[in-house]
Structure 1
Amino acid sequence: MTSKYSLIALAFAASLMALPAQAQTKVTGGVAAYNEALLPVYTAKEKGYYTAEGIALEFVDFKGGGPAVQALAGGSIDVCFCAADHVIRLRARRQPAVILVGLDTYHSYALVAKADNPAKSLADLKGKRIGITAPGSLTDNTIRYSIKELGLNPDRDFELSGAGGGAAMKAAIDSDRVAAGLAILTDVANMMKTPGAYKIVLDYRTLPYPSFAALALESFVKGNPKAAKGFARATVKAMDELSKDPELAKAMIQKMYPNFSPELAAEVAKSSVARAPKGGIVTKESIDNLNKIVLATDDSLKPVTLEQAFDASVLK
């Protein structure tokens, strides 16, 4: 005989089954450059942390930060996984953007050339073609800043050419379409695994800089506070888990880069976790360097404060 309590339990279970699934807010994320700094984002998606926050995250790939930010400004994406340089430029266009979560503590590029290239410094490449990912991108801003620091003119003394990222940049270097190109740190690690093939002409990878972050327009944050906070919370949760579990980090990098050897996957995983800002927090030092580099390339822009660039309240 079925007891009264069993009937109550069955009725309760049936009522739970009848409840509608949690509504999911679609968030479209534009990826300006595919690199190891995306590790916490892919981990949070893989482990269902975004889903648990009511977010359905979808990715769209772009060839560099310039086109990705155009999509952000135009409203076709909600979040841009790109350099924080664009916070300054979007504010100048009266479309203020903020960093929801920092994804990398340091600059993420190095200027790479074939090993037989005689250049030992950027100055040695005067008159040559240098590969950037896209006009208006972090790579464009950075190399222009460095050229001006040498007292040279980036438009007159060099030819800056948009070559894309990843395999496209490597192909441009290999085919001599560019004398040197700015490669992102994951690609640098992979390229340097080939003995005697490449060399680093100028390395930016230890410079404190918000080189990769999740950006959103202030209008999106104000219009979707629950989604903005949920996105940040899920990403930071993944960051924390990755820092405590090296094997998880290695396994996720192997999924992101299935062609990597186990040794390279372990190396990249360790680098990614070490470079990720604790709690997704962006520092004043990195914003100071951001202002220095971006404003050196365009004196019509105005510097941003840490409070303007990074909405810390989203992480609370």
Structure 2
Amino acid sequence: MTNFSVTRRQCLQAAGVFAAAMALGPRSLFAQSAPRTVRLGVGLKSLNASVINLLIGEALGYNAAEGFTVKGMAVGGNANVQVAVDRGDVEVGIAVPSYALPILAKGEWGEAISFYQYTYPYKWDVAVKPGSALKSYADLKGKNIGVSDFGGTEYPVTRNVLKNLGIDPDRDVKWTAVGGGVPAGVALQRGAVDALAYYDTGFGLIEGAGIPFEILTRPQGLPMIGGQFLMTLRERLKTDRALMVGFGRSAAKASTFLLANPTAGAKAFLKLYPETAPRGSSEEEAVKAVLVAVSRRIKLYQPPYPGFKMGQINPDEFTTEMALNGMEAKDLSRFYTNDLIDDINAFDAEAVKAQAMSYNG
């Protein structure tokens, strides 16, 4: 007798493909019977809801319709993601300009290229304890600012913002690595730091833990920098173009789904990654925890630029960030492309929204 077993994620994938068939676009009826595995490199120590729109396509049938299954891999840091992409250890990785642009400016950029912007600026803030005397970014001069770690995106981005305000990020403030998530909130709460620079989903984790904080008002003229991107090797983009289009299309559909019904998206995520739910929480509490974590991020899935399509890259973000750091790159075409965007967006967005509204988990 044959011993046949099916994993929870395989069941979800099979069930989701039928429910989503009308929303998936031209490839939905012709997906490969044996889907390819796409390894996604993420600069986190463990997978969490901050990359929800890159993962839930597995549960919603979007990945299966494009002939692949995704394997999320938390590799611990942005530099590690870059190395994993360059070596071919992952097919797709998350590109972070604050790490990549200095390499590009030196003329040492490798063969990776960004092809889809999965979250747009601006996602960083600075928090203080309730009732703090610090009321603006100008008040941060001479203070101790906490960051999750010095490899986190909030560190270089907040440095750039302070520099833009005339505050020397090396001489006028002190920086302290306090850890990510709840430990960062605890450090602020206990006064280990005067303020905490962090990103949207990080603050969501702190808020979900019941730690109070106040967000300083963002300064005017905030530079539109710090978007995050999907990257792959340039050669793979040529040889596996349909697969990369499919990955981007799945992310675009998932983003559209989440914008239409965040609660449904949270349920889909928890079915894939039940281990991310707070220990001992009910289903309702777990869904709420995901929503608290991602509520700020979901708003950043759509491009803030008139006439742009989902995932389209604006190179002005790169030139702005480089100018803030006294850098220049003569050829940005080595770093990004929008050549896949039209094909990525070739799906019925209204059908995806209807699927989101009728999703029951």
> TM-score, normalized by length of structure 2?
0.66
Q: Report matched runs for 1:66-81 at 5 Å.
A: 66-81=79-94
Does 2:236 align with 1:220? Answer: yes
Q: Report matched runs for 1:72-151 at 5 Å.
A: 72-92=85-105, 93-135=108-150, 137-151=152-166
Q: Letter of the 2:324 partner, please give it.
A: A
Alignment partner of 1:258 out of 265, 277, 301:
277
Select between 162-171 and 304-313 the one with higher mean Cα deviation: 304-313
Q: Is the contact made by 2:147 and 2:177 (CA closer than 8 Å) also made in structure 1?
A: yes
Q: Is the contact made by 2:123 and 2:297 (CA closer than 8 Å) also made in structure 1?
A: no
Aligned equivalents of 1:203, 1:252: Cα separation in 2: 33
1:44 CA displacement: 0.5
Q: Is the contact made by 1:32 and 1:63 (CA closer than 8 Å) also made in structure 2?
A: yes
Distance 1:120 1:218, change over 3 A: same
Q: Report matched runs for 1:186-205 at 5 Å.
A: 186-192=201-207, 197-201=212-216, 203=218
Does 2:348 align with 1:291? Answer: no
Distance 1:165 1:268, change over 3 A: closer
Instruction: Provide the aligned C-alpha RMSD in A.
Output: 3.6
Aligned to 2:354: none
Alignment partner of 1:27 out of 32, 38, 55:
38
Distance 1:153 1:267, change over 3 A: closer
Aligned equivalents of 1:37, 1:248: Cα separation in 2: 16
Structure 2 counterpart SS, 1:249: helix
1:262 CA displacement: 5.2
Q: Letter of the 1:220 partner, please give it.
A: R
Q: Is the contact made by 2:185 and 2:211 (CA closer than 8 Å) also made in structure 1?
A: no
Aligned to 2:14: none
Aligned to 1:274: 299
CA-to-aligned-CA distance 1:194-240 (integer Å, 9 cap, x gap): 88831113548x97555233222324323432321221122223233
CA-to-aligned-CA distance 1:87-128 (integer Å, 9 cap, x gap): 534534222543332222332221122225432223323333
The unaligned stretches of length 5 or more in structure 2 are 1-31, 279-284, 304-308, 344-361
Aligned equivalents of 1:135, 1:193: Cα separation in 2: 24
Distance 1:247 1:223, change over 3 A: same
Aligned equivalents of 2:58, 2:42: Cα separation in 1: 14
Aligned-residue identity in percent: 19
Aligned equivalents of 1:106, 1:304: Cα separation in 2: 22
Does 2:247 align with 1:234? Answer: no
CA-to-aligned-CA distance 1:145-172 (integer Å, 9 cap, x gap): 1221232322222233344432343243
Aligned to 1:302: 329
Q: Report matched runs for 1:40-51 at 5 Å.
A: 40-51=53-64
Distance 1:254 1:76, change over 3 A: closer
Aligned equivalents of 2:191, 2:89: Cα separation in 1: 35
After TM superposition, what 4+ stretches of structure 1 lie above 6 angstroms from structure 2? 193-196
Give the greater-gyration-radius structure (CA). 1
Q: Letter of the 1:291 partner, please give it.
A: T
Structure 1 counterpart SS, 2:55: helix
Q: Is the contact made by 2:137 and 2:218 (CA closer than 8 Å) also made in structure 1?
A: no
Aligned equivalents of 2:90, 2:297: Cα separation in 1: 25
Aligned to 1:152: 167
The unaligned stretches of length 5 or more in structure 1 are 1-20
Q: Is the contact made by 2:41 and 2:75 (CA closer than 8 Å) also made in structure 1?
A: yes
Select between 302-311 and 55-64 the one with higher mean Cα deviation: 302-311
Q: Is the contact made by 1:64 and 1:164 (CA closer than 8 Å) also made in structure 2?
A: no
Aligned equivalents of 2:134, 2:77: Cα separation in 1: 26
Aligned equivalents of 2:331, 2:176: Cα separation in 1: 28
How many residue pairs end up in the alignment? 293
Does 2:340 align with 1:313? Answer: yes
Distance 1:155 1:244, change over 3 A: closer
Distance 1:40 1:289, change over 3 A: same
Alignment partner of 1:174 out of 161, 183, 189:
189
Q: Letter of the 2:203 partner, please give it.
A: V
1:134 CA displacement: 4.0
CA-to-aligned-CA distance 1:234-287 (integer Å, 9 cap, x gap): 222323334444552242366566335655655666655433126532353xx4
Aligned to 1:14: none
Aligned equivalents of 1:238, 1:291: Cα separation in 2: 29
Q: Is the contact made by 2:125 and 2:200 (CA closer than 8 Å) also made in structure 1?
A: yes
